[in-house]
Structure 1
Amino acid sequence: MHPGVAWPRLILDDDRVVGFLMAFFDIDFAGDGTGTDIRSGLWRLNISAEEQGRGYGRFAVQAVADEIRRRGGTRLTACWHPGSDGPEAFYLGLGFRLTGEMSGDQCVGELELTSDT
């Protein structure tokens, strides 16, 4: 679907897989071909249920933020399903803000990247 922009990564603790992320870089978020809304961020972040709350998700988001910064970007976009049983509190706790947009049935959030995020 987006060859050359996907960044799949396993999240490991020593040799044990604890999660997976799929990031993207420089895609036309609007999908209209105009190139007026180019974004980078997270398509997917999955941490094993028994490993949640141990810092792996925070580590993964930081790794994506670092890579976006390395490529010259200044914001990280993520989408998630709304609701109390979803990851919204996690993302908001990391400093993401809701944009008011929806991507399908998912909320869109952004994290402005500074030297300390």
Structure 2
Amino acid sequence: MAPHLAEITPRTFEAALGIRVRPDQEHAVEPVERSLAEAYVHPAGVAWPRLILDGSRPVGFLMAFFDIDWYGDGSVRRSGLWRLNIAAAEQGRGYGRYAVAAVGAEIRRRGGSDLYVTWHPGADGPEDFYLRLGFRKNGETSGGQVVGVLALGDGTEGASA
């Protein structure tokens, strides 16, 4: 079966909470519980939490953000991938690449042209993953994390990764 996204509902809530990254990755990404709490406190339409399913099997969680005031002063609005948690046993099977492509498609659908992401710097972070998908560092940091951007074109970004 092909992966797909599911809304977090009372039916999918427990499955989302069951997504755990590898122990050595826990310092680099917040747990699903924190993401769902953050989604709850942000205005409607900003946070987009989704369960990643392969058939009916939960394999990951993502949370995107749409049209946020990046600097808090109204000067720059951005959309992107806020969180990506692929279950430890499911890593290396293309679900992360699928998640990035799905968020990119949603940003394009909403009229956006760039997908932003931040990541934990260092050898133990996901930098290589994002760079392989075509993200480029834009020279910024946010909360001590590297900021990367992917120009959204015709929907083929990440296809060669």
What range is the shorter-chain TM-score in?
over 0.9
Where 2:93 maps in the other structure, the secondary structure is coil
Q: Tell me the CA shift for residue 21 of structure 1.
A: 0.3
Task: Tell me which of 24, 28, 45 is aligned to 2:84.
Answer: 45
Q: Tell me the CA shift for residue 105 of structure 1.
A: 1.3
Task: Tell me which of 22, 42, 62 is aligned to 1:2.
Answer: 42
Unaligned runs of 5+ in 2: 1-40
Q: CA RMSD in A?
A: 0.9
TM-score, structure 1 normalization: 0.94
TM-score, structure 2 normalization: 0.69
Q: What do residues 28-84 of structure 1 show as CA deviations (whole Å, max 9, x unaligned)? A: 01112xx22100001100101111110000000000000000011000000010111
Q: Tell me the CA shift for residue 2 of structure 1.
A: 2.5
User: Equivalents in 2 of 1:25, 1:97: separation in Å?
Assistant: 20
- Could you say which structure has the larger radius of gyration? 2
**2:110 counterpart of 1:71:** yes
Alignment of 1:1-117 (within 5 A): 1-4=41-44, 5-32=46-73, 35-115=74-154, 116-117=156-157
Q: Give identity over the alignment, percent.
A: 70
The structure in which a higher percent of residues are strand is 1
Partner of residue 15, structure 2: none
Where 1:86 maps in the other structure, the secondary structure is coil
Unaligned runs of 5+ in 1: none
User: Equivalents in 2 of 1:113, 1:2: separation in Å?
Assistant: 25
Where 2:149 maps in the other structure, the secondary structure is strand
- Between the two proteins, the alignment pairs up a number of residues equal to 115
